[in-house]
Every structure is written in C-alpha cells, then in structure tokens.
Amino acid sequence: MVPAACGATGPLQAMRTIHAAVVQMRADDDHARCMRDVTNAVVHAARQGARLVVLPENYAGIASPGAKRAFAAEPGDPAACSALAPLCDLSARHGLTIVAGGTPERAVDGRLFNTAFVIVGGAIRARYRKLHLFDADIPGQPRLRESDDTAPGDTAVVIRTRDARIGLSICYDLRFPELYRALVDRGAELLVVPAAFTRESGAAHWQTLVRARAIECQAFVLAATQHGEHGRGRSSHGHAMIVDPWGRVLAQADGEHDAVLCATLEPEALAAARERIPVARHRRAPSELLATLVEVDPDPAEGAS
C-alpha cells in the first residue's frame, strides 16, 4: 500500500525537465569523513546545476551496528541526527531535493531500519524503509545477513514533487521487479536506487539489473552506489548510473573513483518510450497470470497392459 501522502491517483501531472545527479563514494567507519565527502559531493552537484541529488546506501558510514547507532535517526525527529542535519542545511541553501539513501533509523525492536529519507526545502518530507534485506553468501566477501540487525519496511513509496513522481528503493530491492512495477503503477516516472552492491555480484548483475528496470518500467533510473574497499573485507562494485526509459545509459562512473554524475532528464524521452511500445496498456494483471502446470512426461508404467 502506498501512503495517501503520495497523492491521489488520477491524471498524471506532466513531468518537467530535471537536472539530476547521483553520487558515487567510498564510505568506511569514519562517519565524520564520510559526511565531509557527502557534503562536498552535494555542493559540487549543485554547482553543476543539479536540483535532484541521490546519495548511495550507507553514505554516512559503513560501520558495525553499534557504531551506526551513534548516528542513527530517531523516527520522531530524524533531521536532528548527524547523518541528516547537514543535508537539510544543504537542501535549504541550494534549493535541492536530496534522496539520502540507506540512512540508519532506529526501530522499536532494537534493530535499525535502512531508510531513504527525502529532503526538500531543508525539511524531511518522506521516508522509505528498505523492504528486501540482503542475506547472502557471496564468494570472496564476508557473510552478509542484513536481517540480523536491520528491520524490514512494509510500504512501497512514491513521492510527488513539483517536477515528477519518484519511486523509492534501496540496493537489494533492485532484484525484485514487482516492486518497481508497483511504483510505476502508482505513477512513478523516476526510480531511485541508492546502493552498495558487492564487487562480485555487481560485476555480474549491476548494469543488467539497472537497465532492465528502466526498460521494463519505461522510467528513468538514478542509481547511486558505493565503490572500493570499506574495511573488514567488504568491497563494492561502483559504476553508478543514470539510465533513460529506453535503456540508454546517460552517465556511468567507473568502479574505482568517487564521482558525481549529472544528466538532464527530459520528459520527451519518457513520453517517447511509453508511446513507442505501450507496455502499460498491454500488461496483464498478476491475478490473470497464475501458471498452469502441465505434465508432459507421464510415468512410463501408466497405460501398460
């Protein structure tokens, strides 16, 4: 269910031209250094003309659960935490919409949510708590069980700004196309993916998944990410991307350096993709797609005299 705050369904407000940026960085357990890097990246994006800036997952630091609690947001007053207060100031000063992807937020059960906060005009206007938690064993990486210390969210979120409707997601969500279909069904024209894909899984799947979500949803995808070594054996793939609704890569970083990627997102590109191949009109509802199992290899004993 999408909260009512996202706006009622009905005729879509026309998307406007948007100058957008995604940030690629290498976070570690030094929270203060990470926030200095983030601040510099956001200021650079603003100077390049960006008005929408997407930060990667774990932008405030890749640290142990105990260390993350020191800068985790309180649900009732998130803007007061050291991971978000500087971003609220930057948003107000530069007139930016900032998607602060992958911020730790305290949960009632003692765990943390992995939350993307949306900051507009210096204030937090929306939040999305990561739905799909990454529990996996990747060769060459430490065993990752996000669910040990992270609580899952329970709501898909689309925000409506004056420029566009934006669907929110975080990292591992990228592997679940039904989430993005739900966001587009609610009117999303842009999809944001703050991420920290592991080096191994990213090399195999990152670009394919980002472009697939853009193509099948016929939406812009803004994918910010971590890169490089983070300590304690963790490393990230990098290759932040901005992709248009036809699947064209408008900008892409390498896997080794900090970067701020900027692109102009034109509403004409969105309209053209959706008009050329009207996927939304041809789509069948999930309730119509219950698969039928047909046995084509019967037991040889059957029918024997």
Residues carrying an active site annotation = 57, 130, 171
Q: What is the DSSP string of 153-200?
A: -----EEE-SS-EEEE--GGGGG-HHHHHHHHHTT-SEEE--B--BHH
Beta bridge partners of 225: 24, 195
**Could you tell me which of 43, 200, 160, 168 has the C-alpha nearest to residue 102?**
168
3-state SS assignment for residue 251: strand
Q: Which residue has the tokens 């692109």?
A: 263
Per-residue exposure over 188-214, b if at least 16 CB sit within 10 Å of its own CB, e if not: bbbbbbbbbbbbebbeeebbebbbbbb
Q: How far is CA 68 from CA 28, 113, 200, in A?
A: 11, 11, 25
Answer whether 123's CB lies under 8 Å from 161's CB.
no
C-alpha span between 130 and 295 (Å, rounded):
39
Q: How far is CA 135 from CA 193, 228, 283, in A?
A: 18, 21, 31
**Could you tell me which of 163, 206, 166, 162 has the C-alpha nearest to residue 183?**
166
C-alpha span between 189 and 207 (Å, rounded):
20
Answer whether 153's CB lies under 8 Å from 126's CB.
no
C-alpha span between 151 and 139 (Å, rounded):
25
